[in-house]
Amino acid sequence: MNGKSEVSEFFSKLYSENIVRIEEGSTPFLNSFRKEAFEKFNLLGVPTKKMESYKYTNLETWFRHDYQSYFIPDESHFQKAEDFRCDVTDLDAHGIVLMNGFYPTLNGKLRELPGGIIIGSLNEAARKYPHILEKHYGKYAKNDSDGLIHLNTAMVSDGVFIYVPGGAAPGKPVQVVNLVDSDQDTFNQHRNLIIVGENARCSVIICDHTLSPRRFLTNAVSEIYAGENSSFDLIRVQNEHNNACKITHTFIHQERNSHATSSIITLHGGLVRNNTYHRMDGEGAECNSYGLFLADKWQHVDNFVNVDHASPNCHSNQLFKGVLDDVSTGAFNGRIYVAPDAQGTIAYQKNNNILLTDEARMDTKPQLEIYADDVKCSHGATVGQLDNNALFYMQSRGIDKRQALLMLMFGFAHEVIQNIKVEALQERLDGLVMQRLKGELSQCASCLVKCG
Amino acid sequence: MEKDQDDIINDITSGEYKYGFFTDIETDKIPKGLNEDIVRLISEKKGEPEWLLEFRLKSYRHWLTKKMPDWANLKIPPIDFQEIIYYAAPKQRPSLESLDNIDPELKRTFDKLGIPLEEQKHLSGVAVDAVMDSVSVKTTFRETLAEMGIIFCSFSEAVREYPDLVRRYLGTVVPYTDNYFASLNSAVFSDGSFCYIPKGVRCPMELSTYFRINAANTGQFERTLLVADEESYVSYLEGCTAPMRDENQLHAAIVEIIAEKNAEVKYSTVQNWYPGDKNGRGGIFNFVTKRGICRGDNSKISWTQVETGSAITWKYPSCILRGDNSTGEFYSVAVTNNHQQADTGTKMIHIGKNTKSTIVSKGISAGQGQNSYRGLVKVLKNASNARNFSQCDSLLLGDKCGAHTFPYLEIDNQSAIVEHEATTSKIGEDQIFYCNQRGISTEDAIGLIVNGYAREVINKLPMEFAVEAQKLLQISLEGSVG
Amino acid sequence: MLSIKKLEAGINGKMILKGISLEVKAGEIHAIMGPNGSGKSTLAAVLAGRDVVEIRGGSVTYLGKDLLQMAPEDRSKEGIFLGFQYPIEIPGVSMVNFMKTAVNEHRKHKGLGPLSASDFLKLMREKKELVEIDSKLANRSVNEGFSGGEKKKNEIFQMAMLEPRLAILDETDSGLDIDALRIVANGVNRLKRPDNSAIVITHYQRLLDYIVPDVVHVLYDGRIVKTAGKELALELEEKGYDWIKKEVDNQN
């Protein structure tokens, strides 16, 4: 029996054994998507290295593991979620905590803010506002090759819902803290839906943390709609332990003249795979996609980015950087797609990586696919070491070599961090990166787990 | 103004293919189709030794187990391998001793192509092996070269006269299992060129193979094997044309290059197979495996290609940099016009220490052409201080064409420095205007700009062919600009 | 202060400096002139400790110590400053952070504690005025996106911050317009003290209108072929380098 069918069979069994339980805890709206999605997953399976887009990342060992799966919220962990306090104290934000993918309060699952803004549990929103979800849920997370998106749709129970109606703005960022905590190896899936209406603006910070030293696998899907002339900002800070595998699929759909930015900062994680799909569906849209990862030990970080210029006169910019230490491995898959007739496109993509040891390895695959002619597109990728000329320049000013190397690495990373517009967070991330580079952050921040 | 420019582009890109004539010459063909008997028949026709027949059969059996590759960014119509004739030879009198014995019709054909078979008439300093359909027709300057110990002859003769050399190197760079088309070629290859440069010899003239597909419904499967022994140097050029036909014809060749210690090989291709007509009918399917190995320290292999022809091109001339301090280079200009498709690029595999590679790829898309660069730079764990620089640019002429870039960088050594850059842009309207303002017509301006854009690559060609390539670029873009 | 004896050095196996001897005393300004490719920048690189240059022979003594044995940062802390011909861009590292680190390293070397943030900023402001540098530059990454003139001014600004005993200015005048040249030269002059020295490397005489040298050397083909007072610079300006080349070539 080959690996794929073994894994598929495992999930078939899991699905059929638990579907009743999942559906009971869920809403008719979310349930209406499950069957078809599971059929699609069955067809596609878990991605393997044979797939071009997963060429450099092996998920198999993570999916072959026997996890305790959470299909209904385990309330015994809710207190921990209540007690969790973000240690970025200057960060003024609307806070939401997800525990193992669930909204961990029994009451007040949806909060209403001035201007008609709603934030809270996706499951609850599906119950209360199916007419809003109907227009967006499942409309952007479209992909015919990655089975994991469909697996999420088939089995997901909860996640975060953010609704910012036309012209509104929450005033401060919404911070979502994803906690994973269990005394058993756990597989969890959650789903976020963020709707930013016409002329609205919204900034979302997602922080991933693990609180216990078990083996965790997370498969998360986020769908984001940015309406005409809106502005959306997503900052994701990944800080999980080395026994955790995190797979994210983020779909950002943009209308005319909208602006969207995604920044992913990966500080820790056993295996991290981020799939970010930008689609600019209206003229004059602009998007930025940033990423930074620092990997050591046997960590593996893979960023997959697809920027789809579906309309004319859109601008996009990608900047992804990686620093690889010890025996860590990294990958970058970036694609710019310019549709026929998407004239006036300007698209840039840059991927720079630094290998600190001979055992570290980086594979990068920047791609351009262009079907229109009035375009300015470029990409560049480098794998190498720190700039020797810069090192000498710094030494010639009296800075010792170790310090100079550290500053150069920090500078390398800061080029990504500096794009984060939430000041308190930018400072905090700069600090974390510096600590991480000095080797002082050998485990995830605010984590008491000694997982090595 | 806008409209005018469109028209001019159209005019420039709809130029006619010059080499589309057909030579009516009696041809010795075998029945169409492919099976073990056909493989045996080809081998028998060529009077081959047993070991070579075994090689062919092994390859054929392996081919049967493989599927046609589908990963390239190409739309390839299904190919019926049973409809192809795998061996066709122009009939001529048996002896090739003197030029007088060559069929005058054949001679006229090559004259028309600008490849005279008489040595005295030929471009000075270029030795030619002329191949029509499945066999080598004539190799010039053999004796002059032989005096220096250089072997330059058709592949079939090499099998007869230097079986040990052929056996030692055949399939060592491109094994018969390498890919679908390499397996096919290894089973049915008909002829090609063989070249051996002995130790310490700098080949005094350009060596060249000229390929011509003539007969209908035939495939061309030639094989080139080029060995540069220690401290030697050779510059090699291949050119190719085919008649205009409405049906597609298959060309699946293999080129293997071996460079020993301190040897240098320069391999240049001006590829001008029939690209099909304006509506995408006919044209050659060009599925070629070209690879060189820098076996010895300080050796160097440099590929230069100007690709203007073929309906579909699938081709990745590559370098395996095994020797320490060895160097690989790839310079390419690929033009796709009308309905042409190209998926081409290179692989640079860094194995030895201090190895260097350079990739310069210039794609030009016009009409509805689709042009993809696909390249791999791989630095293995022990390849310390490897350096690579890649520059892949695409130029777009017209709004129906496409330009794509698919680089793969796989780096497993900390001391490597690998840089890839690519840009895609439309031909500069301000540049055209600047030329117009100086009195240059838009059509000429485009010619100038395109040639300027490709110059970095064309400069790498031997002089005589650089001029040819420049003209070819202009012709293949005739009728295309806006 | 600085004593170079029979220095021979090369890059990638090619000999560039073919036996250079030079004495610089405290308080002196030396100009080193010469045609392109004569080895001027290589000499500067050797003094600052660039490791791409291979030392083949000779010695360099600085304040009684063997300079060639010292790491580049130690040379800096001992008071050697190189004004780069092509200042290096360091993306992501801000000027403030860069300079603060350097200044505090120098202070540590002298047994002083680090400057407080406010003292440091005060110092920066003070020195910035000296070279008329735009204060916005301080918040940008080191040299990134600076114009040619800004980069050169930035070199002099750093020199002012670090107060070297021996400043080596490698073609600091190249690519400067006349106003920038005046600013740069003024900066250098105002930093001049009786106990510090400078080596000014230049191709043209015009910088020496502003920074008046005590001694002028002509470097040609890796050797110092002529040494004289400041009037030599004027002679070179008038006659070019050809006559010196001829003189040397005739001797050989």
pLDDT value at B403 more than 70? yes
Kindly tell me the burial class for residue A339, based on how many C-beta atoms sit within 10 Å of its own C-beta (0-12, 13-18, 19 or more). middle
- Report whether A424 contacts A91 (CB < 8 A): yes
Contact B402 A369 (CB under 8 A): yes
In the predicted model, is pLDDT for residue A3 greater than 60?
A: no
CA nearest to B409 within chain A: A364
C and B interact (at least 3 Cβ pairs within 8 A): no
Residue A210 maps to a domain: yes
**Quick one: DSSP state of residue B218?**
B
Q: Do A366 and B407 touch (CB under 8 A)?
A: yes
What pLDDT is attached to residue B242? 66
For the ranges A157-171, A173-187, B12-26, C71-85, the lowest mean pLDDT is seen at B12-26
Query: If you count residue pairs, one on A and one on C, with CB atoms under 8 Å apart, how many are there?
Result: 82
Tell me, yes or no, whether C191 lies in a domain.
Answer: yes
Which residue, among B341, B343, B420, would best test binding to A if mutated, counting the most A CBs under 10 Å from its CB? B420
Question: How far is C167 from C214, CA to CA, in rounded Å?
Answer: 15
Q: What is the pLDDT of residue B250?
A: 86
Q: For an interface test with A, which of B411, B415, B427 has the most A Cβ atoms less than 10 Å from its Cβ? A: B411
Distance CA A263, CA A413 (A): 13
The radius of gyration computed from the CA coordinates of chain C, to the nearest angstrom, equals: 18
Domain extent, residue A137, equals 3-438
C-alpha distance from A436 to closest chain C C-alpha (Å) = 17
| E strand map for B88-213 | 88-90, 126-132, 135-139, 151-154, 193-197, 206-212
| CB A319 within 8 Å of CB A416 | yes
Residue C116 belongs to some domain of the structure: no
Residue C140 lies in a domain: no
In the predicted structure, residue A75 carries a pLDDT above the cut 90: no
Chain A residues lying within 8 Å of C91, measured CB to CB:
411-412, 415
Cα-only R_g, chain A: 21
Which residue in chain B is spatially nearest to A357 when comparing CA positions?
Answer: B414
Q: Please indicate, yes or no, if residue A449 is contained in any of the structural domains.
A: no
Across the interface, of A387, A399, A414, the residue whose CB is closest to C102 is A399
Residue A365: closest C-alpha in chain B: B408
**Between A28 and B283, the higher pLDDT residue:** A28
Interface A-B: count of C-beta contacts within 8 A = 111
Whether the ipTM is more than 0.85: the answer is no
Residue C124 contacts residue C100 (beta carbons within 8 Å)? no
Contact C92 A411 (CB under 8 A): yes
Q: How confident is the model at residue B95 (pLDDT cuts 50, 70, 90)?
A: very low
Residues of B in contact with A362 (CB under 8 A): 409, 411
Burial class (CB in 10 A: 0-12, 13-18, 19+), A282: buried
Q: What is the mean pLDDT of residues B49-54?
A: 93
Predicted pLDDT at B210: 78
Judge whether residue C46 has pLDDT over 90.
Answer: yes
CA angle B123, B125, B126 (to 5 degrees): 70
d(CA A153, CA A219): 10
pLDDT for B90 beyond 80: no
3-state class of B423 per DSSP?
A: strand
CB pair distance less than 8 Å for C71 and A412: no
Binary contact (A390, C88; C-beta < 8 A): yes
List chains adjacent to chain C, taking adjacency as at least 3 C-beta pairs closer than 8 Å.
Answer: A
Domain residues for the domain of C31 are: 2-90+165-251
Q: What is the Cα–Cα distance from B89 to B42, expressed in whole angstroms?
A: 11
Cβ-defined contact of C98 to A413 (cutoff 8 Å): no
Would you say residue C135 has pLDDT above 80? Answer: no
The answer to whether residue B482 is domain-embedded is no
Would you call A373 and B426 a contact, using CB atoms and an 8 Å cutoff? yes
Which tokens is B256 given?
């293997």
Considering its fold, how many domains does chain B have in total? Answer: 1
A446 falls within a domain? no
Restricting to A residues 43-62, those with a Cβ less than 8 Å away from any Cβ of B are: 52
pLDDT at B180 over 80: yes
Token duo for residue A421? 């517009």
Q: What is the pLDDT of residues B449-472, one digit of tens each?
A: 888 888 888 888 877 677 777 777
Q: Is residue C196 part of a domain?
A: yes
One-letter identity of residue A134 = E
Question: Residue A443: its pLDDT value, please?
Answer: 60
Residue of C nearest to A389 (CA): C88
Count of domains for chain C? 1
What are B89's two structure tokens? 């030879």
Chain position carrying tokens 């043209």:
C204
CATH number of residue C244's parent domain: 3.40.50.300
Distance of residue A388 Cα from the nearest chain B Cα, in angstroms: 12
pLDDT value at B33 more than 90: no
Name the closest residue on chain B to residue A372, using Cα atoms: B399
The pLDDT of residue B60 is 94
Predicted local distance difference test score (pLDDT) of residue B482:
42
Q: d(Cα A116, Cα A165) in Å, to the nearest integer?
A: 6
Q: How many folded domains does chain A comprise?
A: 1
Q: What is the mean pLDDT of residues C201-222?
A: 88
CB contact under 8 A, A399 and C109: no
Interchain pair A396, C92: CB under 8 A: no
Q: Which residues of A touch C90 (CB under 8 A)?
A: 387, 390, 393-394, 408, 411
B481, part of any domain = no
Residue of A nearest to B369 (CA): A371
CA distances from C85 to B145, C149, C175, C201 (A): 53, 11, 10, 10
Residue range A410-432: average pLDDT? 91
State residue B453 phi and psi, 5-degree precision.
Answer: -65, -40
Which residues of chain C neighbour A412 with C-beta distances below 8 Å?
A: 91-92
Alpha carbon distance B113, B244 (integer Å): 14
End-to-end CA separation in angstroms for chain B: 10
Residue B301's pLDDT is: 97
Among residues of chain B, what percentage have pLDDT more than 90? 42
Per-residue pLDDT at A246: 96
In the prediction, which pLDDT does B297 show?
96
Q: Does the beta-carbon distance from A411 to C90 stay under 8 Å?
A: yes
Contact A382 B71 (CB under 8 A): no
pLDDT at A224 over 50: yes
Nearest chain C residue to A408, by CA: C93
The DSSP secondary-structure symbol of C118 reads H
Residue C98 binned pLDDT confidence (cut-offs 50, 70, 90): confident
Q: Do B426 and A384 touch (CB under 8 A)?
A: no
Cβ pair A241, A451 in contact under 8 A: yes
Chain C residue numbers with beta carbons less than 8 Å from the beta carbon of A408 are 90, 93
R_g of chain B computed on alpha carbons: 22
DSSP H or E segment with residue A303: strand A300-309
Record: contact A403-C101, CB cut-off 8 A: yes
Q: Does B351 map to a domain?
A: yes
Separation of alpha carbons A248 and B217, rounded Å: 52
Among A341, A364, A377, beta carbon nearest to B424: A377
In tens, the pLDDT along B120-154 reads 444 445 667 777 666 666 667 777 888 899 998 88
Nearest CB to B404; choose among A353, A361, A369:
A369
Token pair belonging to A129? 């506002």
Nearest CB among B396, B403, B420 relative to A381 is that of B420
**Which chain B residues are Cβ-neighbours of A353 within 8 angstroms?**
411
Contact A373 B396 (CB under 8 A): yes
- pLDDT recorded at residue B260: 96
- The model's confidence at residue A2, banded by pLDDT at 50, 70 and 90, is very low
> What is the distance in angstroms between the CA of the first residue and the CA of the last residue of chain C?
33
- Do the chains A and C touch each other, judged by at least 3 C-beta pairs below 8 angstroms? yes
Indicate whether A450 belongs to any domain: no
B257 occurs within a structural domain: yes
Give C167-220 as a DSSP string.
EEEESTTTT--HHHHHHHHHHHHHH--TT-EEEEE-SSSTHHHHS--SEEEEEE
Domain that holds residue B213: 2-476
Q: Which of A287-301, A428-442, B354-368 has the lowest average pLDDT?
A: A428-442
Structure confidence at residue A88 (pLDDT): 74
Asked whether the beta carbons of residue B414 and residue A368 sit closer than 8 angstroms, the reply is: no
Contact present, B51 and B222 (Cβ < 8 Å):
no
Report yes or no on A444 lying in a domain.
Answer: no
Put simply, the answer to whether C76 touches A396 (Cβ < 8 Å) is yes
Q: Which subunits sit against A, judged by 3+ Cβ pairs under 8 A? A: B, C
Per-residue pLDDT of A145-163, as tens digits, reads 999 999 999 999 999 999 9
CA distance A290 to chain C (A): 15
Cβ atoms of B238 and B469 within 8 Å: the answer is no
- A113-117 long-range CB contacts below 8 Å, 24 or more apart? A113/A170, A115/A164, A115/A165, A115/A167, A115/A168, A115/A169, A115/A170, A116/A163, A116/A165, A116/A168, A117/A162, A117/A163, A117/A164, A117/A165, A117/A168, A117/A170
Q: Do A358 and B381 touch (CB under 8 A)?
A: yes
Which band of pLDDT confidence, cut at 50, 70 and 90, is reported for residue B416? very high
Residue B155 lies in a domain: yes
Residue A449 has pLDDT above 60, yes or no: no
Chain C: residue whose CA lies nearest to A411: C92
What is the Cα–Cα distance from B161 to B48, expressed in whole angstroms?
11
A418 to A261, A379, B137, C185, C198: CA distances (angstroms): 13, 21, 67, 36, 39
- Using CB atoms, list chains with 3+ pairs below 8 Å to chain B: A
